[in-house]
Structure 1
């Protein structure tokens, strides 16, 4: 029994040390995540992308992150799915609660006749950018690291 306690204590110490090392390793980061694909069966791709974003936040700390998520083309399906899929909706809300901003492409809205007010989960006028690809370039020119999960 004491051997088990020692192992558990060692694992706990290792986890705390790893978290402290991660906080020492990473400084403030500006990141743009690019989503322009279908979510697939059960929105797995969207959930996986948001899991990547959450893992990034966990490693660096929400207070050290400036995260933008640019959605265009089929990527708008993420916020459309959040209207009905509780898993997707909860992850979107959780990321927003950690200051991740979702940017929605106006070209896609117009071209596909999508109403951001009726068809997408909690999208407001301030969330809409003229062009998803132009926004990606704009953010990269401002020093944001580009990631496509």
Structure 2
């Protein structure tokens, strides 16, 4: 996928609306189902991708990008959850003595979760704005599982 802007005159209003809507829709559904279970956001993007892939290259590219991003964020959130369980388990297994090590790591983990949530929010908004202006957008920190 090219990162260069698509000239606005080649992208219809409908395509721009679908492209921006997929980013907003994925974000809203992810927020409504809690960002940790952001698989719902990926579902929205996946449905739009399947619907638009034969009709609008622009909207399908944005949907694919949103799908990859939401899957990536979901995987990152799961990894943070697993690390949280491991830290809690280490504290319990050491009869509370491990709290000297796990408490600072737990605080770092909470900060990482907040940074992930903020990145999810900001990147989705930036992607929607870029789509609305008829530009392509590639999310940072994205594992590109679905290719076009």
Q: Shared fold (TM-score greater than 0.5)?
A: no
Q: Which has the higher strand share?
A: 1
Greater relative contact order, per chain length (Cα 8 Å cut-off, separation 6+): 2
Whose helix fraction is larger, Structure 1's or Structure 2's? Answer: 2
TM-score, scaled to structure 2: 0.31
